[in-house]
Amino acid sequence: MKFIRVNTLKIDPKTLKNRLERKGIVLKETFLDYAFEVKKSPFSIGSTPEYLFGYYMPQSISSMIPPIVLNPKEDDFVLDMCSAPGGKTTHLAQIMNNNGCIVAVEISKTRTKALKSNINRMGVLNTIIINKDMRKYKEELLKKKIQFDKILLDAPCTGNEIKDKHRNVSKEDIKYCSLRQKELLNIALDLLKKGGELVYSTCSIEVEENEEVIRHILNNRNDIELVYLTPDKFLGINIKKGYLDGTLRVFPPNEPFFIAKLRKI
């Protein structure tokens, strides 16, 4: 299944739909008025002038859910902790109507280039790109007493290894990722303002990288509560309650995803 997210910072969904349909691309509506399923395309969806103009982003419908659930406001100060190549950063900027401020952090230099290119292509103006390891950058932020209203932690996971490196994952990989995810989530929560909200997401199917990470945080910190999510508004998506009440899981044929929301109290 292929989807596109229309970049409403540059074009309205109806105009883009008409333009693409005139080229023989068949699009189907989704629960989101600015996202379409690509039912048929005579050529690669990433090779049109409209793509180069930054009118849309090809991405799974599942990957659009974390920014929607985070729901940043136009005056929010937002941290996107693991941001490249920027599918969710550019979506957050779109929801914020290019207002407020997003700090987009990415550890990999090569992936930061892709992030920069997507941000430029899509006309995002409210984002500061930081090519650093969040585990070190945290110290700088805390020293300056900088905290955020909203944080997205779209964590590195074994799902990325399957997709990017086409390899099977071992028990050790899952354990390694789970430890890293707990570390990153604790960092994120330290950087969240009181009353601030955080969305944790992965494209892994493993409980150790999803529900267990959230359970670990809830058992070990007394300044965090779970914000209950329900699957009902994501019509047409194979989305269900996660194995921890209040969390969400997307299942095939959609791209598998786990989404949880936390609040600092």
Ligand X SMILES: C[S@@+](CC[C@H](N)C(=O)[O-])C[C@H]1O[C@@H](n2cnc3c(N)ncnc32)[C@H](O)[C@@H]1O
The site for ligand X (CB under 6 A) is made up of: 63, 82-88, 105-108, 111, 133-135, 154, 156, 160
Rounded Cα–Cα distance for residues 182 and 153 (Å)? 11
**133 annotated to a ligand binding site:** yes
Nearest alpha carbon to residue 223 among 262, 185, 180, 179: 262
Nearer to ligand X, 25 or 261 (CB): 261
203 is a catalytic site residue: yes
232 is in an annotated binding site: no
- Cα(83)–Cα(65) distance, integer angstroms: 15
Tell the smallest beta-carbon distance from residue 256 to ligand X (Å). 13
Whichever of 25 and 116 has its CB closer to ligand X, that residue is: 116
86 is in an annotated binding site: yes
Q: What is the gyration radius of the CA atoms in the chain, in angstroms?
A: 18
46 is in an annotated binding site: no
CA–CA separation, 261 and 127 (whole Å): 22
Judge contact between 198 and 151, C-beta under 8 A: yes
Using DSSP, state whether 144 is helix, strand or coil. Answer: coil
Residue sitting closest to ligand X (CB): 82
- Residue 106 labeled ligand binder: yes
- How far apart, in whole angstroms, are the C-alpha atoms of residue 143 and residue 147? 10
CB of 26 to ligand X, least distance (A): 26
Beta carbon of residue 236, minimum distance to ligand X (angstroms, whole number): 21
Question: Of the listed 101, 157, 177, 203, which one is catalytic?
Answer: 203
* Least separation in angstroms between CB 34 and ligand X: 16
Cβ partners under 8 Å of residue 110, min gap 6: none
Quick one: DSSP state of residue 164? H
Cα–Cα–Cα angle for 210, 101, 50, rounded to 5 degrees: 85
**Given the complex with ligand X, which of 11 and 134 has the nearer CB atom?**
134
* Beta carbon nearer to ligand X, 187 or 224: 187
Q: Distance between CA atoms of 222 and 240, rounded to whole angstroms?
A: 27
Annotated binding site for S-adenosyl-L-methionine: 82-88, 106, 133, 154
Task: List active site positions.
Answer: 203
